[in-house]
Amino acid sequence: MTINIPAEIGMCVEDVDTPALLIDLDAFERNVDRMANFISQAGVRIRVHAKTHKSPDIALYQIAHGAVGVCCQKVSEAEALVHGGVRDVLVSNEVVGQRKIERLAALAKRARVLVCVDDIDNISDLDEAAGRYGVTLEVLVEIDAGAGRCGVQPGDAALPLAQKVDASANLKFAGIQAYQGKAQHVHDFNERKAAIDAAVDKVRKTVGILKDAGLDCDIIAGAGSGTYQFEAGSGVYNELQCGSYVFMDADYGRILMEDGRQIDDFENSLFIYTQVMSKTKIDKAICDAGLKAQSVDSGLPLIYGRTDVEYIGASDEHGVISDPDDKLRLGDKLYLVPGHCDPTVNVYDWYVGVRNGVVESILAVSARGMCL
Amino acid sequence: MTINIPAEIGMCVEDVDTPALLIDLDAFERNVDRMANFISQAGVRIRVHAKTHKSPDIALYQIAHGAVGVCCQKVSEAEALVHGGVRDVLVSNEVVGQRKIERLAALAKRARVLVCVDDIDNISDLDEAAGRYGVTLEVLVEIDAGAGRCGVQPGDAALPLAQKVDASANLKFAGIQAYQGKAQHVHDFNERKAAIDAAVDKVRKTVGILKDAGLDCDIIAGAGSGTYQFEAGSGVYNELQCGSYVFMDADYGRILMEDGRQIDDFENSLFIYTQVMSKTKIDKAICDAGLKAQSVDSGLPLIYGRTDVEYIGASDEHGVISDPDDKLRLGDKLYLVPGHCDPTVNVYDWYVGVRNGVVESILAVSARGMCL
């Protein structure tokens, strides 16, 4: 059987096989430090989103550096994280269907488990399963903060859900989930800020309605790596859910600050390491990272540190690189900044952690493919 | 640890957890039968492309139904197929770098292994490794049949490569690889045919040059599911490499025949089974299959058998479904036809084989993620 590990500890990075998913460990650690500093100054909590990295190792490192726990989006992802030692997991998503609810309740025997709801009958299903396993599930009522996906309308619609959770024997009402996912990748600063200002108003109103009904929100959660400063400064949100900041990607690189410059609060720490595997044309090279080595939903990858060559096309197993000055040779290796980090991580089994040009760690992407 | 299998043998399909990758076994078997019939009438061979399904089970089924062996694109993919019982594998791609070449040569101790070349020094590397392992690697010289990716220019450029292979002690010259990948998804019939007509001319010329130099091509290989009829009827190609025909996808569904109708030679047999996991809006539903449950490089998935609802947007873990008549309810399950089958399969660990509404088989996607 093939284990398909592209590297060994102690190897020079140049010897790592391709395509491989590399972490620049220094850059990664600086990103985590910067967020920890920001959080402590802003006076809010961070519950980091593990859907980005799908790795208990990375989650535990983030927890050791100030995170109160993790979020994830799927029950099977939560299982992989708990299996890897994480003991405080919010499934920041609705969990629907008997099999998944059963697994969620069972998992709560091994860790603190929180989940979101936006449907009244779903609350009964969760309560019943929790009762059967003798556990308490903590529940956030999700409101649609503007992303147009899950969540009830902000305001009055949240109240009956929160009341039903509160009245359920095996559930604990924990607060509000209000993630504005659509705002994260809005490139223009003012537009991005306006989207979060609107979300904050909705959250404030909803929290007020619940409070008037005697329901306090311990957790008022949301925010991603594109907008976290707005939520943190809102005076309403108290728990951020950023994920991508640990890695960043090409699309986050297009987000602009107020002065029109690209954001620079975090660094690219995640790279697809690729190799020229065909060079039969003067002005073109073919590399070994195509559609199965990344997700191109948010655009093609960038070639890191190079302005003389450009990644211009992806097919299943090949990337086409424009090489107008005929600089590349067979076997040359390049670092790609993925277009979109989360779904790119999801096609790899291993991270290769590199420091000072040497492989220092090989980490399993334990929740890779955990979509149930 | 979580195994993340969405179904059990004998279960009704309605009970399968979501998202899951389903195979309609009847449709799949009809596709394989139709290709077998075509091949036997056309008087050519088929070496099916396993990069589509990444499953030794499916490969062995195809071999039992007329295929002479399989193609794949990566050494690690070849290892997974050989591990699963396949004994005749062409890596229809260049293999570059010491680690990969080592693995390829070692694999040839366990199976017939063929590989492509488009670089003169790469031939020495392959020969040396084959000698070290005491094996013979069979080698196809790849020419660029018009896709603009790998391969030397057709014609004279192929000769020195073929001669060097032929003169290498541990390599056997096996023929020409000439896959026109770009033509497969050209929707217009005449344009698609013109691309293959051009490729056929290039291949004929190249084969003639090699023949004049005393080098016979046992294998003259190419063709995919969008163009195979042209290559099969060319009188030049003798081995087809179709992969997608076993499953088909939304993008193949857009390919047109000569009379302007959609192609109908093969059926959709692959589906993403998904579930409505949030329904808080009258005209919209959110399902649980987003960017990590498929690849959207060739467009969004279609909802099979429904005209009243439409999949209109994908984020990491959510799909947005337009539901103008408010037909969908929480927990409703839908069949999606993936936009592009190959990279969609690459994010799943398991196929769920279904016949007459009952789960009949659960097959590992053994070469999932095998990108080395």
Instruction: Encode chain A (372 residues) as per-residue pLDDT tens digits.
Output: 557 899 999 999 999 999 999 999 999 999 999 999 999 999 999 999 999 999 999 999 999 999 999 999 999 999 999 999 999 999 999 999 999 999 999 999 999 999 999 999 999 999 999 999 999 999 999 999 999 999 999 999 999 999 999 999 999 999 999 999 999 989 999 999 999 999 999 999 999 999 999 999 999 999 999 999 999 999 999 999 999 999 999 999 999 999 998 888 999 999 999 999 999 999 999 999 999 999 999 999 999 999 999 999 999 999 999 999 999 999 999 999 999 999 999 999 999 999 999 999 999 999 999 999
**Are B110 and B234 part of one and the same domain?**
yes
Q: Is residue B278 part of a domain?
A: yes
* Distance between CA atoms of residues B285 and B311, nearest Å: 9
> What's the pLDDT score for residue B4?
86
> What's the pLDDT score for residue B2?
59
B288 close to B19: Cβ distance less than 8 angstroms: yes
DSSP B93-156: EE--SHHHHHHHHHHTTTSEEEEEE--HHHHHHHHHHHHHHT--EEEEEEB--SSSSSSBPSST
Q: Is residue B237 part of a domain?
A: yes
Q: Is residue A93 part of a domain?
A: yes
How much helix, strand and coil, in percent to the nearest 5, is found in chain A?
35, 25, 40
* Distance between CA atoms of residues A88 and A108, nearest Å: 10
Residue B307, chain A, CB below 8 Å: the answer is no
End-to-end Cα spacing for chain B? 26
Question: Domain boundary at B219, B247, B275, which?
Answer: B247
Q: Is residue B291 part of a domain?
A: yes
> What's the pLDDT score for residue A2?
59
Residue A342, chain B, CB below 8 Å: the answer is yes
Q: Which tokens hold the place of A177? A: 């989930």
**Are B198 and B75 part of one and the same domain?**
yes
DSSP character at residue B9: T
Report chain A residues whose CB lies below 8 A from the CB of B73: 316-317
* Distance between CA atoms of residues B318 and A149, nearest Å: 8
Q: Is residue B37 part of a domain?
A: no
CA distances from B11 to A129, A362, B15, B360 (A): 22, 38, 7, 8
* B304 SS3 class: coil
The domain that holds B331 is classified in CATH as 2.40.37.20
A158 close to A141: Cβ distance less than 8 angstroms: yes
User: Residue A227 is part of which domain span?
Assistant: 44-248
Distance of residue B343 Cα from the nearest chain A Cα, in angstroms: 6
Distance of residue B89 Cα from the nearest chain A Cα, in angstroms: 16
**Are A311 and A207 part of one and the same domain?**
no
Mutation site, A14, A21, A316, interface B, largest B CB count within 10 A? A316
* Domain total of chain A: 2
**Are B49 and B114 part of one and the same domain?**
yes
Residue A283, chain B, CB below 8 Å: the answer is no
B148, B279, B343 ranked by CB distance to A292: nearest: B343
Pairing label, strands A350-355, A284-287: unpaired
**Are A214 and A288 part of one and the same domain?**
no
Say whether A316 and B73 touch across the interface (CB within 8 A): yes
Say whether A278 and B2 touch across the interface (CB within 8 A): no
**Are B233 and B308 part of one and the same domain?**
no
> Is the omega angle on the peptide bond into residue B160 within 30 degrees of 0, that is, cis?
no
A281, A317, A346 ranked by CB distance to B347: nearest: A346
**Are B209 and B291 part of one and the same domain?**
no
CA distances from A185 to A103, A115, A227 (A): 33, 25, 9
Q: Look up tokens 């409101």; give the residue.
A: A143
Distance of residue A121 Cα from the nearest chain B Cα, in angstroms: 10
Q: What is the mean pLDDT of each run of 10 residues along chain B (372 residues)?
A: 85 98 98 97 98 98 98 98 98 97 98 98 98 98 97 98 98 98 93 97 98 98 96 98 97 92 93 98 98 97 98 98 98 98 97 98 97 97
The domain that holds B124 is classified in CATH as 3.20.20.10
Q: Is residue A27 part of a domain?
A: no
B333 close to B14: Cβ distance less than 8 angstroms: yes
The residues in B 190-219 lying below 8 A from A, measured between CB atoms, are: none
Residue A272, chain B, CB below 8 Å: the answer is no
A336 close to A312: Cβ distance less than 8 angstroms: no
**Are A72 and A157 part of one and the same domain?**
yes
**Torsion over CA: B296, B299, B305, B306 (sign):** positive
**Are A211 and A270 part of one and the same domain?**
no
DSSP bridge pairs for A97:
none
> What's the pLDDT score for residue B3?
72
